[in-house]
Structure 1
Amino acid sequence: MSVSRLRITAVALLVAGATVLATPAQAAGGHRAASRFDDGSFESPKAPANNFTEFAAGQSIGPWRITAGSVDLIGAGFWQAAEGDQSLDLNGAGAGTIAQTFATTPGATYSVTYALAGNPAGGPALRTGRAEIDGQDFQDFTFDITGKTRADMGYVGRQFSFVARNSSTTLTFASTVAGPYGPVLDDIQVKECKACCGN
């Protein structure tokens, strides 16, 4: 066998091996993990200015999958965003759930931060939901919309941390309030924590 043919065979074997190694990570979450967490401010795609677009289970908003119910992607100017131009109401016609799977290092600690508010248009006053890591409830959240308006949403910061168990992790946010007025999320960030935080 010639040297050039030997090199081609070796490359082919390496490529095949890489494909086999990638498959379990994809199968673990049912979706290919992004190389990093992305678009926590829901800036893409663009919703109509001063309006919103409803997305139902099975659809995606950038790297986010809607896994249950429906959600509303809020366009620029409709109400105050915490960061950038857009935000997300976790309730479309009713309670919705979103999830994103991204690459992680097993054993490493990650910090999740996000801005929380609530759709101020109707009752009840309390908007409730939860954040999950790989299907496990990590943080329940509540936001009171009393006195809040579309011009002054009153965003508050929330944070929790987790230790990655696998080479990919799925972050989920779910509304736990009925009706079309849900908790509002924006500026979600996931960062590896270098001896900076605990649970």
Structure 2
Amino acid sequence: MVGALAALATVTGAPADATTVRFNGGFETPAVGPGSFRTFAAGRAIGAWTVGGGSVDLAGRGFWQAAEGVQALDLNGSGPGAITQTFGTLPLVKYEIAYRLAGDPGGEPAVKSGVVRIGGEPAQDFSFDVTGRSSTDMGYVRKKVTFIATGLSTTVEFLSTVPGHHGPVIDDITVKSCLAIICHI
């Protein structure tokens, strides 16, 4: 039992290890110039994330309001895109992925939508209405999705389901393990 708990501590680490250093959920790297954005095509890396399909836009400081830090990610670059990341997990342990969601207020459609996939399976649909929002008042909401790991690693994917250049915006993604019904940060 002690060995299993030690293994859990090694895989999940302290919150800074799991969320800030390894997970890159704030999209602060690579740095994008102030007031601009950079488009990343399929196969390109954004910190610990990989663009899994289509393209995405990483917006720099001042392009629009970030939920955390100074950069945020639009899941639509030149069209709908996706990002993926694989991280260490322990089988039969429950994990919670939390993230901030808004939408690119620069164009249609008004309702931005997408899906979180875990291990290749849809885990959560999401949507955000940008009506009345602006680049300085994005209106981020906190979303959470939980899963029970089935292996020593798990792949999470965020993907857009809307056409065009203006999609859902995500930021401040964190992951934590949960023992029984209590989640530890």
The answer to which structure has the higher strand fraction is: 2
Shift of 1:196: 2.2
Letter in 1 for 2:154: T
**Residues 59-70 of structure 1: pairs in structure 2 closer than 5 A:** 59-70=44-55
Q: Which has the larger radius of gyration?
A: 1
Query: Structure 1 residue 130 and structure 2 residue 115: aligned?
Result: yes
Aligned to 1:89: 74
| 1:53 aligns with one of 21, 31, 38 | 38
CA–CA separation in structure 2 for the residues paired with 1:182 and 1:124 = 8
Q: String of CA shifts for 1:33-81, please: whole Å, max 9, x gaps.
A: xx95511010000011110000000101011000100000010111100
Q: Does 1:181 align with 2:166?
A: yes
Aligned partners of 1:177, 1:78: CA distance in 2, in Å?
21
1:2-151 to 2 correspondences below 5 Å = 36=18, 37-151=22-136
TM-score (norm 1): 0.80
Q: SS of the counterpart of 1:55?
A: strand
Q: Distance in 2 between matches of 1:102 and 1:160?
A: 16
2:10 corresponds to which residue? none
After superposition, give the CA deviation of every residue in 1:86-145 in whole Å (9 maximum; x if it has no partner).
000000000001000010011100011000000000111100000010100000001000
CA distance in 1 between counterparts of 2:182 and 2:84 reads 25
**Distance in 1 of aligned mates of 2:98 and 2:75:** 17
- Percent identity, aligned pairs only, is 52
Q: Which amino acid aligns with 1:196?
A: I
Question: Which residue does the alignment assign to 2:142?
Answer: 157
* CA distance in structure 2 between the aligned counterparts of 1:175 and 1:124, rounded to whole angstroms: 12
Segments of structure 1 that go 5 or more residues without pairing to the other structure are: 1-34
Runs (4+) off by over 2 Å: 194-197
Question: How far apart, in 2, do the equivalents of 1:116 and 1:96 lie?
Answer: 15
- The secondary structure found in structure 2 opposite 1:102 is strand
Normalising by structure 2, we get a TM-score of 0.86
Aligned residue in 2 for 1:6: none
The residue type equivalent to 1:183 in the other structure is P
